[in-house]
Amino acid sequence: MAVSRRLELLSWADHNNSWILEDDYDCEFRYSSRPMGALQGMDTRGRVIYLGTFSTVLFPALRLGYAVVPHDVVHRFVGMRESLDLFSPSLYQLVLTDFLREGHFARHLRACGIYLARRDALIAAIHEYAADVLLVGKHRRGIAPRYLPARGVEIRR
C-alpha cells in the first residue's frame, strides 16, 4: 500500500476511533523489493495493533506469536490474554528469548534466502513442465507462489 494510502487509513482510524489490525505474518519473505515498514511504525495516534508470529519463519509447531499494542491498552490485552488459557508455553518463550538475544534469529533470517532459490526453481519447473495446466500468480513475497488453473482447465471437486 502506498504511503499516501497508509496515511489516509491511519487518519480514518483516528477519525472513527477505530483499530487497525496489522498482521504481517510473512514480512521476512519479501524478495522483489525492500521490506516495507510496518503501518504500526507510522502510527502516532495509537490506532494500530501489530500482530506477528514466529511459526512462519521458524516452524509451525512453535505456535508463538506476539502483539504490539498501544501503551494505553496493554493492561486490557494482558487481561484478555490471561483469560484465554492457563499459561503460555514458558519453556518455548525462554528458549526463543535466548535465540533472539544471542543473534541466532538474525542469522536464521539471512539463511532463509534459500527459500527464494527454491521458490524460483519451483516456478521455473511449472513454466517448463506444467504451463498448459497451471499458471503462477504474482509472487513478490511469501514462501509459496499463488497457483491458478490455466484457461480451459476444468477443476473437478
Residue 141 pLDDT:
63
Q: What is the pLDDT along the chain (157 residues), one digit of tens a residue?
A: 788 999 999 999 999 999 999 987 666 666 666 667 788 989 999 999 999 888 878 888 888 888 899 999 999 988 888 888 766 788 989 999 999 999 998 888 878 777 778 888 888 898 899 888 888 877 666 666 777 788 888 777 7
Residue 32 pLDDT:
62
Q: What pLDDT, in 10s, does the model give residues 111-145? A: 877 777 888 888 889 889 988 888 887 766 666 67
Helix axes 90-101, 104-111, angle to 10 degrees: 80
Q: State the average pLDDT for the chain.
A: 84
Distance CA 104, CA 96 (A): 10
Q: How is residue 155 annotated by DSSP?
A: P
Q: How is residue 58 annotated by DSSP?
A: T
Distance CA 80, CA 28 (A): 28
Residue 42 pLDDT:
92
Residue 96 pLDDT:
93
Residue 30 pLDDT:
63
Helices of type H across the chain: 3-15, 39-42, 74-84, 90-101, 104-111, 114-129
Residue 31 pLDDT:
61
Distance CA 76, CA 68 (A): 13
CB neighbourhood size of 62 (10 A): 16
Distances (CA, A) of 61 to 4, 46, 54, 74, 84: 38, 32, 10, 27, 19
Residues near 62 by beta carbon (within 8 Å), at least 6 away in sequence: 54, 55, 92, 96
